[in-house]
Each structure stands twice: as structure tokens, then as C-alpha cells.
Amino acid sequence: MRLHALVSDEAAARRAAAGGATVVQLRLKGAPTADVVALGRALAGIDAQLVVNDDVDAALELGVGVHLGQGDPGIERAREAGIPLGISVTTRREGAVAEFAGATYLGAGPVWETPSKPDAAPPIGVDGLRDVCLSVSIPVVAIGGIDSSNAAECIHAGAVGVAVIRAVAEIEALRAAVDEAL
């Protein structure tokens, strides 16, 4: 779970996996479940774990994990189905609640400002990330404004990996930064 790439198309997913992403999250906001499933099936052979963003039905159909935000429905269904469940958090309290609810990992952030998600919560910074990491016993992946220049800070704060959208273009440099920090 060291390098978690959030992608919306097949080419980006393949580029991320080829560059060393260990997890590829299919992030097709508002897309029908059938479209998410079709992309997931097209990526069945990539060398990375697949996770679906926000669509429990697609995750169940593909037999992969799902990542949900604080207000997203489906936590109970994912937990009952026994699929990997990631939940986005910004505070240690949200982290503890998510862990109690059955999350198998957390996405903590945004650590820094990010243009990829204009409706994101205010940045939590490295100290906020560290606080979340220390408050739970499950893996934490840092997200938000992360690139090869600051990924190591996230690892040093306790994250097991980093999640990126924009930085997929620099995936090899990002992987080197994360590997060096571990």
C-alpha cells in the first residue's frame, strides 16, 4: 500500500501500475456502476491491487476493495461482504470511528492544499497526519497535495504510503521518494 494512485481512465491506471503503484483506485465520480465495472475488468491483469472509489456495488461485482468518504453510504455493506474498506478521515476522532466501523485502512488528509478536489476539507498538515497515524492501529495512507518533493514527510509522519492523482505523471520519482523514506 506504499503508493496509491487515484485514476479515472485505463491509460492512467496502466501508467501508475507500470511506474510502481501498489494500489490503483478507480475514481470515476458520478459514473454508472457498469462503467466502473467495465474499467475494472479491463484492468484485471495489472500488477497492482484495485480499489473502487465510492461504489460498493462495483467493488462487490469486481471482488475488490472500496474507498468511501465520511458521508458516503456503504460502510456496512462493505464490512458485511468482507472486502477491503478504506475510509477518508481528517482527524484522529474520525480515524478512531472509521477503525471501529471496520475500515481496513484510512486515507488521511488532505495533508496539503490540492487542486484535484476543490471541495476538500482544510489541509491537516504533517502534524495532523501524524496525529491520525498515532490514533489508530490500521494502515494510514496520506492524500492531498502530495508529490515527490514531500512524500517522504508523510512516511516519516507514520503513513504507510501516499495517494496521488496529479503526481501519477511523475510516478517513478514519487516511488523513489517513498522507497527511500521507508
Query: How is residue 95 written as a grid cell?
Result: 480515524
Rounded-to-integer distance, Cα 159 and Cα 31, Å: 30
What single-letter amino acid sits at 104?
T
Secondary structure of 15-67 in the HEC alphabet? HHHHCCCCEEEECCCCCCHHHHHHHHHHCCCCCCEEEEECCHHHHHHHCCEEE
Rounded-to-integer distance, Cα 40 and Cα 26, Å: 8
Residues identified as active-site: 27, 88, 117
